Structure 1
Amino acid sequence: MENQRNVILAMVLMALMLVGWDLGMRYYYPPAPKPAAGATAAAAPGAPAPAPTLKPTREGGLQAPADIALEKHELAAALAAGHRVTVDAPGLKGSINLVGGLVDDLTLARHRETLDKNSPPVRLFSPPGTPEQHYAQLGWVGQNGAAAPGPDTLWQADGAKLTPATPVTLRWTSPTGQTYALRYAIDADYMITVTQSVSNAGTAPVQIKPFALVNRTDRTASIDTWNVHSGPIAAFDGAVTFANNYSDVKTAGTVSPAGTANWIGFTDIYWLSALIPDTANGAAQPKGDFRNVGPDIFRADLIYPVATVAPGQTATQTVRLFAGAKENNVLEAYEKQGATNLSLSIDWGWFRWFEKPIFWLLDSLFRAVHNFGLAIILLTLIVRGMMFPVAQRQFASMAAMRAIQPKLKVIQERFKDDKQKQQQEIMALYKAEGVNPLAGCLPIFLQIPVFFALYKVLVLTIEMRHQPFVGWIKDLSAPDPLHVLNLFGLLPFTPPAFLAIGVLAILLGITMWAQFKLQPAAMDPAQQQVMALMPWMMMFVMAPFAAGLLIYWITSNLLTIAQQKYLYSKHPQLKAQASKDQLDIDRVVAREQKAQDPKGGPRKPKAR
């Protein structure tokens, strides 16, 4: 009865965990809503206000269909107004608004919104006033009455297209003779370099305060979780800070981190917009802070000290604007160009010393085989191959532990009333026989950081986004899209996460079950029954995880099964002892069943 009660309790706890897991996954990784029919019409001019913003997703962006349609309408109107310089680079496409000199129209040429290669490129910047508002502005604030360009200033451009080979300069001259200039240059990836200059042709000195800012709404932010940051981000004195989120800035109004700003901006899981001041050669040091400037509008500022420009003189400074995808190799290349720790805008966490090598190896394998799923399988082979000597020692230790079981039982029986003495004698036996009872746990502990590192790599890195494997697996960074309960997509409904069992999850359960069958059985029958349920519980728990992670685990299980069969052949005494232990457990279970009546209750004692 006690064993049955334990099994029932374990099953109840497993069920509660599955339900709780589903709720947690829906909270931290909510599915993007499907656009409703007629959403475009609902967003026409004069239509009702957009629906409230839904919970963010991993990809970020607007979620409500009415908001999406309204953005499309207002973006088209803003871009059709004219007064724009085209941006045409391999990494970025879009335009610069000559009204205000805003960089407010950028898309990422190398990344698409969906798996469909014909889908639109990911939009990062959108003009002010649109639902996806996100833009950068560089300028000056005039001091003591000095005239400076403002948000409505119409700049004059010396070119019609900004490309890596053709920089463009915007100019505006004040009534008092000061010429302000913004020279834009762009590279092949995601960096725009802006040189701000003020030439004073007037008769008196002028004082101006230069600034640079990134302005965005949090309605398009990706989800911010305990292990992946999304929101305000900056590096001060070389240290990247993830301490603030949008709600912190909203509560404080203004957040001003201490130290010298290396860069400052906003991050999503995959995208980053950041200002990088030039602090070399004695350049002025700006002050960096975050501000909440509207109900859902936030700003990252670089504010420079007041500069005095004498007649006939020119004041110049340079700010770089990163606006793009957080591709690790690109970010590291910018670090070599002076962007301090820009690659740490990827939220590797405390274990980046281990995660980055895993990413490097995985990315290198991908470049060699051109299939990310195959690269994951090869990574698993390499990791398990490196740990094979440890596994050999583990099995040797297990064999030694099995060999001394009779001696252990003698000690336990002899000192059953003196637990302290019993423990001392057992430790002495371990030392005399050269046995480490914890050796069997070492391979498990070694796999944990590998598993966690791969999990973080699949969650964080843009390189894994939309990478296919084979057949129906089109995105290894997303869960298995086919589910048993809807007949692999034939039925028009999506099961809840804890019931969304796909082919990969089933293979995971089967391989884990086969692996457990080869392991020495637990001596406690109740524990054995719980362990028998474990593979199927893990099948449900792991189903919502990225398909790439399940491929890693399935491959690891298959290698473990092959490894165990090989090592059992090298240690036949371990296999024989495991079979004997199983027979002993079966006898215990049979005795317990014999002590109960057919209805499952305890047998009544015989009358004396």
Structure 2
Amino acid sequence: MNDNRNMLLAIVLSALVLIGWSLLSDTFFPTAGPQTQQVENGKVKAVPQPQADPTADSPRAIRRREVVLAESPRVAIETPSLKGSINLTGARFDDLVLVRERETIAADSPPVRLLSPAGAPLAYFAQFGWSGEAVATPDANSVWTPSASTLSPGKPVTLSWTNPTGQRFELIVSVDEDYLFSVRQRVVNLGSGAIGVRSFGLVSRAQKSADPSSWTHHIGPISFLGSKADYEVDWDALDENKAGVTRDSRGGWLGFTDKYWLTALVPTEGAPVEASFRKSNSGAYQADYASAPFVVAPGQAVSSEAQLFAGAMEKRLLDRYEDAGITKLSKAIDWGWFEWFMRPIFDLLNWLFSVIGNFGVAIIALTFIVRLILFPIADKQFRSMAGMRRVQPKMKAIQERYKDDKARLQQEMLKLYKDEKINPAAGCLPILLQIPIFYALYKVLMVAVEMRHQPFALWIKDLSAPDPMTPINLFGLLDFTPPGFLAIGILPILLGVTMWMQFKLNPAQLDPVQQQIFSWMPWILMFVMAPFAAGLQLYWVVSNILTIGQQKWLYYRYDHEMNPPGEPAVVRK
């Protein structure tokens, strides 16, 4: 009867872990992001996502992007990393694709589109301008005059617009070889009286990111204002607060992030600005800033500097721009609690990738390095566990003898630990110390755009996506895609098997309920880890294999060390 009750309790607890994790993981832990494209017959097709024009007071029909782009004059953008154009109507950065990044792993996949014009699907754009009183300033319908037809590294373009009273507004735009635009906003007053204006910058996107945000990975409105990174403002906060969120700052930056991409406005460093996030009446989300008012006397010119980052959140680039003066731009990556530890792991992983040339092999090499660093901790852990294995028959005998006397049972167990010089808690501390290490590695592998679409070997063509090879559909022979956590790939299965082998090497739990739960946990984790990125699954599988080898060797070593001559050797399970 007691055994049946324990078995029932183990089943209930295991079910709670499995079902509870499925319900909570999307909220608290980022898994591989959902696909925004689908592949049919080898061709990539975008998933339809109709929406409203973010700059209109009322929704209107969405038109094809090619049609919208052809409706206004443009300056082409051509760099090694970016391609697109600046809309001369409104001087908007509203057409931008990331040349080095692809939508899917398909050979004919188009590059990732970051910015798109108003009136087209997934409208998303940036704009710089001025506001003022008693002076005509350029607006969304103003047509600017360019100094050249193409913007490229080392070849800036000046956009100019003059109002009827003689004030000329200029945007002198330059771009580097990566993802940073520099914009010099210049006002030349050729009129007869002084004018007062404020410069501003804005980023507007019609929809929330398709990437899910979670407790450990912020996606959405993001900023570094007032010497502080802000991950608290999210889509829901803007939905609920019609007035928006406003911050006063000196410099800093603000914008929107997806899982891998960032569009951020960078006002003049050290200059006072009023920055805000808001949701417009049309449903679009907007990040903007405005400078302090300034006066331009007749015959004078005043200018201010601003920058726009629009691209992939590659750590090396964020660090480089940060060193060049953009305060804490690397905080756009939601590092989490262990930032101080994650950064060197990130740098080590990228270095290994640059040397080896295969991200999967780099993950394996990183796993070896981590296990090597943790070896002294594991050594202490397995020495304690070997001691527990050695005295396990004595522990069971004591438990059987005093099973009806809990107080005496505890006394005898403590006496046994003292006589045998064993600390049962010694094996727990190393495990606790490894938790931040695993969490840091988990975050690195989940947020690294460097891992996106990186192949490993055989069927694993994208380490940032779940393992696609599953026996549920006979490894792709059956024409259907298993739903949700049922799509268990080869790597999650290997994870479950290796974890089961690892637990089998550990001392058996005296409590039958705990032992039952431990025996089922590997298979539960197999389901839990199925939706995660293959890169993380690969790390865990390799780590388990190394741990198994390490356990066997250390147990062999300490079993012989702890068994005096003449005593029987410890029998392995």
When normalised by structure 1's length, the TM-score is: 0.84
CA distance 1:433–1:25, change in 2 (3 Å): closer
Partner of 1:318 in structure 2? 305
Of 370-379 and 403-412, more deviation after overlay is shown by 403-412
2:508 alignment partner, SS class: coil
1:300 alignment partner, SS class: strand
For 2:231 and 2:215, locate their aligned partners in 1 and report how far apart those are by CA, in whole Å.
Answer: 11
For 1:119 and 1:304, locate their aligned partners in 2 and report how far apart those are by CA, in whole Å.
Answer: 41
For 2:542 and 2:356, locate their aligned partners in 1 and report how far apart those are by CA, in whole Å.
Answer: 17
> Which aligned pairs between 1:148-297 and structure 2 lie closer than 5 A?
148-253=137-242, 254-280=244-270, 284-297=271-284
Q: 1:486 aligns with which of 451, 454, 473?
A: 473
> Which aligned pairs between 1:53-202 and structure 2 lie closer than 5 A?
63-64=47-48, 73-143=63-133, 145-202=134-191
Task: Give the number of equivalent residue pairs.
Answer: 553
1:202 alignment partner, SS class: coil
Report the alpha carbon displacement of residue 579 of structure 1 after superposing the two structures with TM. 5.2
CA contact (8 A) 2:346 2:444 kept: yes
Report the alpha carbon displacement of residue 535 of structure 1 after superposing the two structures with TM. 2.1
CA distance 1:33–1:221, change in 2 (3 Å): closer
Q: 1:571 aligns with which of 555, 558, 570?
A: 558
For 2:111 and 2:37, locate their aligned partners in 1 and report how far apart those are by CA, in whole Å.
Answer: 19
For 2:327 and 2:147, locate their aligned partners in 1 and report how far apart those are by CA, in whole Å.
Answer: 33
CA contact (8 A) 2:208 2:235 kept: no
Report the alpha carbon displacement of residue 8 of structure 1 after superposing the two structures with TM. 3.0
Alignment-mate amino acid for residue 243 of structure 1: E
Q: Which runs of 5+ in 1 are unaligned?
A: 38-60, 583-608
CA distance 1:203–1:136, change in 2 (3 Å): same
CA distance 1:580–1:374, change in 2 (3 Å): closer
For 2:394 and 2:269, locate their aligned partners in 1 and report how far apart those are by CA, in whole Å.
Answer: 72
Partner of 2:463 in structure 1? 476
Report the alpha carbon displacement of residue 523 of structure 1 after superposing the two structures with TM. 3.0
Alignment-mate amino acid for residue 334 of structure 1: Y
Report the alpha carbon displacement of residue 398 of structure 1 after superposing the two structures with TM. 3.1
1:136 alignment partner, SS class: strand
Spell out, residue by residue over 1:488-544, the C-alpha distance to the aligned partner (whole angstroms, 9 max, x if none): 112122223332222112212221222222222223445434333222222222222
1:274 alignment partner, SS class: strand
Partner of 1:551 in structure 2? 538
Report the alpha carbon displacement of residue 142 of structure 1 after superposing the two structures with TM. 2.5
Report the alpha carbon displacement of residue 389 of structure 1 after superposing the two structures with TM. 2.2
CA contact (8 A) 1:179 1:200 kept: yes
**Is residue 340 from structure 1 mapped to residue 306 from structure 2 by the alignment?**
no
For 1:363 and 1:407, locate their aligned partners in 2 and report how far apart those are by CA, in whole Å.
Answer: 50
Spell out, residue by residue over 1:184-228, the C-alpha distance to the aligned partner (whole angstroms, 9 max, x if none): 000011110000111112221111121111111224442222211
Spell out, residue by residue over 1:449-470, the C-alpha distance to the aligned partner (whole angstroms, 9 max, x if none): 2222222122212111111110
Report the alpha carbon displacement of residue 410 of structure 1 after superposing the two structures with TM. 9.7
For 1:142 and 1:115, locate their aligned partners in 2 and report how far apart those are by CA, in whole Å.
Answer: 48
**Is residue 18 from structure 1 mapped to residue 7 from structure 2 by the alignment?**
no
Alignment-mate amino acid for residue 333 of structure 1: R
> Which aligned pairs between 1:374-523 and structure 2 lie closer than 5 A?
374-401=361-388, 419=407, 434-523=421-510
For 1:577 and 1:450, locate their aligned partners in 2 and report how far apart those are by CA, in whole Å.
Answer: 38
1:240 alignment partner, SS class: strand
CA contact (8 A) 2:248 2:272 kept: no
For 1:259 and 1:159, locate their aligned partners in 2 and report how far apart those are by CA, in whole Å.
Answer: 35
For 1:273 and 1:468, locate their aligned partners in 2 and report how far apart those are by CA, in whole Å.
Answer: 27
Partner of 1:48 in structure 2? none
Report the alpha carbon displacement of residue 391 of structure 1 after superposing the two structures with TM. 2.1
CA distance 1:212–1:578, change in 2 (3 Å): farther
For 1:120 and 1:572, locate their aligned partners in 2 and report how far apart those are by CA, in whole Å.
Answer: 59
CA contact (8 A) 1:523 1:581 kept: no
2:316 alignment partner, SS class: helix
Report the alpha carbon displacement of residue 396 of structure 1 after superposing the two structures with TM. 2.4
For 1:320 and 1:33, locate their aligned partners in 2 and report how far apart those are by CA, in whole Å.
Answer: 29
Spell out, residue by residue over 1:348-395, the C-alpha distance to the aligned partner (whole angstroms, 9 max, x if none): 111111222221111111111111111111111111112222222223
Partner of 2:55 in structure 1? none
For 1:209 and 1:418, locate their aligned partners in 2 and report how far apart those are by CA, in whole Å.
Answer: 77
Report the alpha carbon displacement of residue 409 of structure 1 after superposing the two structures with TM. 8.3
CA distance 1:410–1:111, change in 2 (3 Å): closer
For 1:231 and 1:504, locate their aligned partners in 2 and report how far apart those are by CA, in whole Å.
Answer: 31
Alignment-mate amino acid for residue 492 of structure 1: D
CA contact (8 A) 1:71 1:132 kept: no
CA distance 1:295–1:199, change in 2 (3 Å): closer
Report the alpha carbon displacement of residue 277 of structure 1 after superposing the two structures with TM. 1.1
CA contact (8 A) 2:34 2:210 kept: no
Alignment-mate amino acid for residue 9 of structure 2: L
For 2:273 and 2:515, locate their aligned partners in 1 and report how far apart those are by CA, in whole Å.
Answer: 64
Spell out, residue by residue over 1:522-581, the C-alpha distance to the aligned partner (whole angstroms, 9 max, x if none): 234454343332222222222222111121111111111211221222123579989569
1:257 alignment partner, SS class: strand
For 1:211 and 1:300, locate their aligned partners in 2 and report how far apart those are by CA, in whole Å.
Answer: 11
Report the alpha carbon displacement of residue 258 of structure 1 after superposing the two structures with TM. 4.5
Partner of 1:350 in structure 2? 337
1:218 alignment partner, SS class: coil
For 1:406 and 1:521, locate their aligned partners in 2 and report how far apart those are by CA, in whole Å.
Answer: 11
For 2:123 and 2:273, locate their aligned partners in 1 and report how far apart those are by CA, in whole Å.
Answer: 25
Q: 1:361 aligns with which of 348, 354, 357?
A: 348
CA contact (8 A) 2:76 2:86 kept: yes
CA contact (8 A) 1:62 1:219 kept: no
Report the alpha carbon displacement of residue 16 of structure 1 after superposing the two structures with TM. 4.6
Q: Which runs of 5+ in 2 are unaligned?
A: 53-59
Report the alpha carbon displacement of residue 436 of structure 1 after superposing the two structures with TM. 2.6
Alignment-mate amino acid for residue 140 of structure 2: P
Q: 2:296 aligns with which of 309, 314, 329?
A: 309
CA contact (8 A) 2:97 2:115 kept: yes
For 1:381 and 1:309, locate their aligned partners in 2 and report how far apart those are by CA, in whole Å.
Answer: 63
Alignment-mate amino acid for residue 456 of structure 1: K
Alignment-mate amino acid for residue 166 of structure 2: G
CA distance 1:424–1:26, change in 2 (3 Å): closer
Spell out, residue by residue over 1:305-348, the C-alpha distance to the aligned partner (whole angstroms, 9 max, x if none): 22111111111001101111111110010101111111011111
Alignment-mate amino acid for residue 14 of structure 1: S
For 1:469 and 1:418, locate their aligned partners in 2 and report how far apart those are by CA, in whole Å.
Answer: 54
Q: Percent identity?
A: 48
CA distance 1:416–1:528, change in 2 (3 Å): closer
For 2:353 and 2:21, locate their aligned partners in 1 and report how far apart those are by CA, in whole Å.
Answer: 32
CA contact (8 A) 2:209 2:220 kept: no
CA distance 1:97–1:520, change in 2 (3 Å): same
CA distance 1:417–1:129, change in 2 (3 Å): same
CA contact (8 A) 1:291 1:298 kept: yes
